[in-house]
Amino acid sequence: MQQQTLYDLSFDQLTQLLTDLGEPKFRARQVWEWLYQKYVPDVAAMANLPKGLREKLSTAVHLSPLPIASEQHSRDGLTKKVLFQLPDGQFIETVLMRYDRRRTLCISTQAGCAMGCVFCATGQMGFFRHLSVGEIVTQVLHFARELAQTGEHVTNIVMMGMGEPLHNYTNTMTAVDRLTDPTGFNLGARKITISTVGLVPAIRRYADEQQQTPLAVSLHAATDEERDKLIPVNRRWPIAEVLDACRYYVEKTGRRLTFEWALIAHENDTVEQAQALGKLLHGLLCHVNLIPLNPTAGYGGQPSSRERVAAFQAELARYGVSSTVRVRRGIDIQAGCGQLRDRVVSSNQ
């Protein structure tokens, strides 16, 4: 039997696997709980399974598909970044951010990214492949296991790591289903945020499916002329189409949207851009997340000053658009928004 990755299996697929191994169906629930509630690192640790079954499972499936290549810790001790190696030799980065009461994970959904956003380190490296469901989920379980050792737990997940989540739509949303399964990891859907650069058909599908996870749209410019320079996919789905899809999402779900805006000094942090954004979003149930640009080696832009951030935010308020300035974490280890990439590749370039 060809070896499978255990985390790639749905509960029904796990049940079928155990049936094929000659085991009763109730064993599937036991294995499921060991995986998603107890986060065991090895099939051998599944203590209430017969030894024979543990041996058969170990032969039939992999448990942990993501060995750690390296770890980095920020100077303030609040952020940790892990470089995982995928089975085919690709690498992805995942980040744990500690706040007062929250333990937030920034999860990758692809190795690389096809969107090519010029200020993003992942976009600069290009696209390699989609992650499987198991490869997405295992990032979470790695940190859940680690946090459990100190009595902590994952409180929030943002699909804002490497890749465009809605480009890998099926695997991303299946991973969300796995992580929110009340018989498994059981994280509330509202605690998982999905980020997109603006893939219009996927946003509409997301709305039609009434997904419960919050949606964040990376806008970064309020005119097509400016957005074309930053986000190549804008040439395929310009701002008007993105905003139409966003309004559709709000109408279908009744939930508030978040817009992400990386503030680049003297580029998209002008009063004119703030006014244009205010006009675009006025009356829409939304919130703007302002993020002073995080530096990357492949882009020469600089983060906005506090004064320019404050002026931009004040201008949005004039149009009735709420906003907050995101707390930047892990910049010293390149763990901030837009800084994640394959460090093994980059070290050889």
User: Mean pLDDT by 10-residue block, N- to C-terminus, for the chain (349 residues)?
Assistant: 78 95 94 95 91 91 82 86 90 90 94 90 87 95 95 95 96 97 96 97 97 95 94 96 98 96 92 96 96 78 90 96 77 50 46
**CATH number where 53 lies:** 1.10.150.530
Quick check: helix, strand or coil at residue 218? strand
- Any domain includes 198: no
Q: Which of 62, 85, 112 is the last residue of a domain?
A: 62
What per-residue confidence (pLDDT) applies to 349? 36
Q: Are residues 92 and 155 in the same domain?
A: yes
Q: Are residues 10 and 30 in the same domain?
A: yes
- Any domain includes 201: no
What per-residue confidence (pLDDT) applies to 10? 95
Range(s) of the domain holding residue 37: 4-62
Q: Are residues 76 and 164 in the same domain?
A: yes
Q: Are residues 234 and 346 in the same domain?
A: no
**Which of these, 134, 219, 216, 147, lies nearest to 178 by C-alpha position?**
134
What per-residue confidence (pLDDT) applies to 346? 44
What per-residue confidence (pLDDT) applies to 168? 98
Cβ-proximal residues to 307 (8 Å cutoff; 6+ apart), any chain: none
In angstroms, the CA 58 to CA 49 distance is 12
Q: Are residues 33 and 119 in the same domain?
A: no
Q: Are residues 173 and 90 in the same domain?
A: yes
List active site positions: 93, 337
Q: Would you give the DSSP letter of residue 97?
A: E
**CATH number where 187 lies:** 3.20.20.70
Rounded to the nearest 10°, the torsion over CA 59, 65, 70, 71 is: -110
The pTM assigned to this predicted structure is 0.92
In angstroms, the CA 296 to CA 278 distance is 28
Provide the angle, in degrees to the nearest 10, between the axes of the packed helices 271-281 and 306-318.
Answer: 30
The total domain count for the chain is 3
